[in-house]
Structure 1
Amino acid sequence: MILSLQIALKFHQSARNNTLISLVSLIAVVSIAIGITISIISLSAINGFKYELSNRILAVIPHGEIEPINTPFIGWKTVLAHIRKMPDIIYASPYINFYGVVEYYNKWHAVYIRSVDLTQNVYENGLINFIEKDSWKYFCKNTKQIILGKGISDTLGVKVGDWVTILITKDFCASNKLLLSNKISLQVAGILNLNSQLDYNIAMISLSDAQCYCGRTSDISGIAIKTNDIFSVNKTIYKIAKKLNHQIYVRSWMDTYGYIYQDIQMVRIIIYLSIVLIIGISCFNVIATLILSIKDKNYDVAIIRALGAPNIFIQHVFFWYGLIIYVIASIVGTGFGIFIAFNLTNLVIICNDLLGNKIFPEGIYFINFLPVKLNKWDILLVLSITLLLGSLTSWCIALKTRKIDLYKILK
Structure 2
Amino acid sequence: MILSLQIALKFHRGSNNNILISLVSLIAIISITIGIAISIIALSVINGFKYELSHRFLAVVPHVEIEPVGASFIDWLTVLKRIRQMPEIICANPYINFSGVIEFNNKWHVVYVRSVDLTKKIDENTLLYFIEKDFSWKYFYENTGQIILGKGISDSLGTKVGDWITILIAHNFRMDNKLLSSKRIRLQVAGILNLNSQLDSNIAVMSLLDIQHLYHKTSDITGIAIKINDIFSADNIARKIEKIMLNHQVYVRSWMDTYGYIYRDIQMVRVIVYLSTILIMSISCFNVIATLVLSIKDKNYDIALIYALGGQNILIRRVFFWYGLIIYIISGVVGTGLGVFTSVNLTNLITICNDLLGNKILSKGIYFINFLPVKLNGWDVLSVLGITLLLGVVTSWYAVLKTKKVDLSKILK
Give TM class, smaller chain. over 0.9
Name whichever of 363-372 and 398-407 sits farther off.
398-407
Residues 286 and 178 of structure 1: is their aligned pair in 2 closer, same or farther, counting only changes over 3 Å?
closer
Deviations 1:251-307 (A, max 9, x none): 111122111111111111111111011111111111111111100111222232343
The answer as to whether partners of 1:45 and 1:373 remain within 8 angstroms in 2 is yes
Give the conservation status (yes or no) of the 8 Å contact 1:200–1:363: no
Does residue 201 of structure 1 match 2:202?
A: yes
Q: Which amino acid aligns with 1:52?
A: E
Equivalent position SS for 1:295: helix
Q: Tell me the residue number matched to 2:181.
A: 180
Task: Kindly state the Cα deviation for residue 178 of structure 1 after the two structures are TM-superposed.
Answer: 8.1
- Corresponding residue SS for 1:371: coil
Match in the other structure for 2:408: 406
Structure 2 counterpart of 1:15: 15
Percent sequence identity is 71
1:304 aligns with 2:306: yes
* Matched letter for residue 323 of structure 2: Y
Which residue number in structure 2 is paired with residue 44 of structure 1?
44
> Contact 1:42 / 1:271 at 8 angstroms: preserved in 2?
yes
Name the CA distance, whole Å, in 2 between partners of 1:399 and 1:308: 20
**1:149–1:203 Cα contact (<8 Å) kept:** yes
Alignment partner of 1:319 out of 318, 321, 343: 321
> Secondary structure of the residue that 1:36 maps to in structure 2?
helix
Q: Which residue of 2 aligns with 1:57?
A: 57
TM-fit CA distance, 1:179: 2.1
Q: Which residue of 2 aligns with 1:329?
A: 331
In the alignment, which residue of structure 2 is the partner of 1:279?
A: 281
Q: Which residue is equivalent to 1:69?
A: 69
RMSD: 1.7
- Letter in structure 1 aligned against 2:62: P
User: 1:178 and 1:305 mapped to 2: Cα distance?
Assistant: 93
Helix, strand or coil at the partner of 1:370: coil
Q: Is the 8 A contact 1:5 1:320 kept in 2?
A: yes
Show the counterpart of 1:24: 24
1:288: which partner in 2?
290
Greater Cα shift, 240-249 or 85-94? 240-249
**Counterpart residue number, 1:6:** 6
Aligned equivalents of 1:214 and 1:287: distance in 2?
75
Paired residue type of 1:105: N
Paired with 2:213 and 2:163, the residues of 1 have a C-alpha distance of: 22
Q: Which aligned runs of 4 or more in structure 1 are off by greater than 3 angstroms?
A: none
- After superposition, the C-alpha distances for 1:156-182 in whole angstroms (9 at most, x for unaligned) are 00000000011111259xxxx982102
How many residue pairs get aligned? The number is: 408
- Cα distance between partner residues in 2 of 1:26 and 1:212: 73
What is the DSSP-based 3-state SS (H/G/I as helix, E as strand, rest coil) of the residue aligned with 1:22?
Answer: helix
How do 1:117-136 residues align onto structure 2 when only pairs under 5 Å count? 117-133=117-133, 134-136=135-137
User: Does the CA-based 8 Å contact 1:298-1:404 persist in structure 2?
Assistant: no
| Structure 1 gap ranges (5+) | none
In structure 2, how many angstroms separate the alpha carbons of the residues matched to 1:153 and 1:374?
33
Which residue identity is paired with 2:99?
Answer: Y
| Letter of the 2:149 counterpart | L
Q: Which amino acid aligns with 2:208?
A: L
Q: Equivalents in 1 of 2:389, 2:137: separation in Å? A: 52
Q: Quick one: structure 1 residues 219 and 192, their matched pair in 2 at CA, closer, same or farther if it must change by over 3 Å?
A: same
Taking the TM superposition and a 5 Å limit, the aligned residue runs for 1:86-101 are 86-101=86-101
Q: Distance in 2 between matches of 1:182 and 1:228?
A: 40
How far is the alpha carbon of 1:19 from its aligned partner? 2.0
Q: 1:68: Cα distance to partner?
A: 1.3
Letter in 1 for 2:190: A
Q: Structure 1 length normalisation: TM-score?
A: 0.96
Greater Cα offset, 361-370 or 44-53: 361-370
Worse overlay, 284-293 or 399-408: 399-408
Distance 2:260 2:180 in 1: 33
Q: Once the 2 structures are TM-superposed, how far is the Cα of residue 51 of structure 1 from its aligned partner?
A: 0.6
- Aligned to 2:56, the other structure's residue is in SS state helix
Following the alignment from structure 2 to structure 1, what is the Cα–Cα distance between the partners of residues 364 and 43? 23
Q: Distance in 2 between matches of 1:366 and 1:107?
A: 25
The answer as to 2:130 corresponding to 1:147 is no
Structure 1 letter corresponding to 2:81 = A
**Secondary structure of residue in 1 paired with 2:167:** strand
Contact 1:345 1:371 in 2 (8 A): yes
Distance of 1:131 and 1:178 partners within structure 2? 29
Cα displacement (A) at 1:138: 0.7
What TM-score do the two structures reach when normalised by structure 2? Answer: 0.95
Q: Residue in 1 aligned with 2:190? A: 189
Distance 1:112 1:127 in 2: 15
* Matched-pair contact (CA < 8 Å) for 1:311–1:401: no
Conserved 8 A contact 1:91-1:125: no
Looking at structure 2, the residues matched to 90 and 37 of structure 1 have their Cα atoms a distance apart, in angstroms, of 39
1:309 Cα deviation after fit: 2.5
Q: Tell me the residue number matched to 2:371.
A: 369
The question of whether the paired residues in 2 share the 8 Å contact of 1:290 and 1:318 is answered with: yes
Deviations 1:285-332 (A, max 9, x none): 111111111001112222323433322221111111100000000000
Choose the corresponding residue for 2:261, options 253, 259, 262.
Answer: 259
